[in-house]
Amino acid sequence: MSEKMNIVTVNDGRTLYPGASAPENREYNMFIGPNHPGIEGNFALKLTLEGDTIVQARTDAGYLHRGFEKLMEQRLYMQNIAIVPRICVPDPDPNEENYARAIEAIAHIEVPRRAQFIRVMMLELSRIASHLFAFGGFAGTLGLYTMPNWSISDRDRILELFEALTGARIYHIYIIPGGVRRDLPEGFAQRVKDTLFYIESKLPEYDNLLFENSIIRKRSRGIGVIPPEKAMEWGVTGPNLRAAGFAHDVRIDDPYEVYNELEFDIPIAHESDALARMLVRRKEVEESIRIIRQVLDKMPSGPVWNKQPNPLKWKVPAGDAYVRTESSKGEYAYYMVSNGDVRPYRVHVRGASVTHGVHVLEKLLIGTRIEDASQVMFSLDACPPEVDR
């Protein structure tokens, strides 16, 4: 009896849902996230719908704001190495790469050849891991839950490689100014080759299950189209831009490390829809495997780190640098300013996710039906912590 008395009756008298507008207005509000199976990370979408169709979309970021950029101004250069990978969890290495290269550019530090090859290997492994994650997320939005389990368990094999090399599965803190933290352990190259062979052998299974799945293709074709004429204007980069027909890739256009010594293709598509974006990523996995194999074959012997001064007292000379990397999310850049102190004066992170996950997503969602909102978001493959940075 006492339990019954405590029951609160909500919505008494059948009032409208709190998010609904007046009855004469056919629009109502809906939220996807921050607590929703269809949201990508700590993020939310505030949608206004008419029937099933989205008429207005606002992204709601900030749930993961930890003030990385400001934090970096308070810490020593070496301490920041542990902060930067946290800016993008699925693909952390481009952050380490950019941060290290920015310091190297300002301080004119030369990186040993072997370290450059190792860095490329790390970046490409990270790209594959990130794409595998994206395949799973995208398939999940369309109800194909077998795919996330497969691709994320395969991604785990790459995380095991990271663990063997760096001691950490996600935040490697491995690429440091002047090179990399340690050399490859014995037998590691063979482990990488075996893992690549395994992942390559799984790609036809992915094709059968996801990329050639008639229902998936039907549902994602023509959805979330980025108009090619608008792609540049909107600042789209990476696989999302290449799916719109532009063969733009920082690894080719502005090569860093040893990418100019390696042979690889830039997969592109022209449809610019959700399916095309995922297919470009699918082909990029093959290209990354190709790159890593070349790296392992061509990797010279030698030191992996150009030793730097005592990190507690290290003052990077005054100057500034803008460096960019092709990450799995798109073009990833750091602008660093040093005033000659032991701490950076300013580190600005230009991630691809603000563009894709906020501005482009808000545009693409208008006119999209509610059932496709999640797949459009996952097809852009943004990274919420990177939006908040």
Partner 1 sequence: MSVLSIVVWIIAYPLIIFCIGVLLGGYERKFSARVERRIGPSWIQPFYDVIKLMSKKTNVSHGYMHDVAILMLLGGTMLTLYFVPVPGFSYFSQFGDFLVISYLLLIPSLGMALGVGETANPNGSIGISRALQMLAGYEVPFILTFIGVAMKEQTTSMLDIIRVQQAGGFWAWGLIAHPLLGVAALIALQGMLNEKPFEVIVAPHEIATGPMTEMGGKYLGIMFIQHLIAVPLELTLYINLFLGGASNWLEYLVKLFVLWTALISVNMVFGRFRVDSAVKFMWKISLPLAALGVIGIMLNIA
Neighbour count for residue 303 (Cβ, 10 Å): 13
For 53, the token pair is 């169709």
207: contact with partner 1 by CB under 8 A: no
DSSP string computed for 289-318: HHHHHHHHHHPPPS-SB---S-TTT--PPS
28: contact with partner 1 by CB under 8 A: yes
Q: Which of 336, 330, 332, 331 has its CA nearest to residue 348? A: 336
131, 172, 219, 356: which one contacts partner 1 (CB under 8 A)? 219
Q: Which is nearer to partner 1, 67 or 143 (CB)?
A: 143
> Which amino acid is present at 151?
S
> Which amino acid is present at 165?
L
For residue 8, the minimal CB distance to partner 1 (Å) is 5
15, 25, 201, 310: which one contacts partner 1 (CB under 8 A)? 15
222: contact with partner 1 by CB under 8 A: no
144: contact with partner 1 by CB under 8 A: yes
Site mask for partner 1 (CB under 8 A), range 41-80, x = bound:
--------x--x----------------------------
Spatial distance between the Cα atoms of 61 and 288, rounded to a whole number of angstroms: 31
371: contact with partner 1 by CB under 8 A: yes
139: contact with partner 1 by CB under 8 A: yes
341: contact with partner 1 by CB under 8 A: no
225: contact with partner 1 by CB under 8 A: no
95, 98, 130, 141: which one contacts partner 1 (CB under 8 A)? 141
CB under 8 A: which stretch of 36-44, 93-101, 256-264, 280-288 binds partner 1? 36-44
CB under 8 A: which stretch of 188-196, 224-232, 336-344, 368-376 binds partner 1? 368-376
Left if phi > 0, otherwise alpha if psi is -120 to 50, otherwise beta: which for 319?
A: left
Q: Which helix (H) or strand (E) holds 50?
A: strand 44-50
CA dihedral defined by 86, 87, 92, 93, rounded to 10 degrees? Answer: -110
What does the H/E/C string look like for 259-281? HHHCCCCCCCCCCCCHHHHHHHH
Q: Which is nearer to partner 1, 90 or 238 (CB)?
A: 90
Which residues, 6+ apart, have CB-to-CB distance to 366 below 8 Å? 54, 55, 56, 57
55, 76, 78, 209: which one contacts partner 1 (CB under 8 A)? 209
Binding site for partner 1 (CB under 8 A): 3, 6-12, 14-17, 19-20, 28, 30, 32, 36-38, 49, 52, 139-146, 149-150, 153, 209, 213, 215-216, 218-219, 369-375
